[in-house]
Amino acid sequence: MHILVDADACPGTVRDIVCRAGIKRGISVLFVANQPISLPASPWLSAYQVPQGFDEADDEIVQRAVPNDLVITADIPLAAEALEKGAHVLTPRGERYTEANIKQRLQMRDFMETLRATGERTGGPPPLSQVDRKAFADQLDRLLTRYHSG
């Protein structure tokens, strides 16, 4: 198992949690972004900078993902593609995307995009709370315990 992080929109607190988990468990973590990412020095952590452009980081993550990898992203289309490749998907808020719920998430995303296209102001997600950070850390620990054999 490897962890692939959609790092462009990943909150710093979530990045810190992932870094600690990767180092503690000896799991390779790759942060993919279109800007430089600062990481603690560790052989388990690396960053890959993609060119500027729409979905460059997403495409790189999908290309690298293999079955049983863990992809961390809030991007629903990226999550759907990662699931198709057999990866596990976790959002920075600790929600798991699965084959059972991804179609509904895609439909809701498309609906919200349609609303925004009509000029409706839908707002964005609320800031990451302490509850969200704990949910993420707990879910990450459960996934790594269950699927990492190292």
pLDDT computed for residue 106 by the predictor: 65
- Give the mean pLDDT per block of 10 residues along the chain (150 residues): 93 96 97 94 97 90 96 92 95 90 70 66 74 95 85
Is residue 77 within 8 Å of 58, Cβ to Cβ? yes
Tokens of 110: 């498309």
pLDDT computed for residue 105 by the predictor: 72
pLDDT computed for residue 112 by the predictor: 61
Is residue 60 within 8 Å of 48, Cβ to Cβ? yes
pLDDT computed for residue 54 by the predictor: 80
Q: Name the maximum alpha-carbon separation found in the chain.
A: 50
- The yes/no answer on whether domain 3-120+127-147 falls in CATH 1.20.1270 is no
pLDDT computed for residue 22 by the predictor: 97
Rg from Cα positions in the chain:
15
pLDDT computed for residue 99 by the predictor: 81
pLDDT computed for residue 116 by the predictor: 62
Is residue 37 within 8 Å of 16, Cβ to Cβ? no
pLDDT computed for residue 53 by the predictor: 83
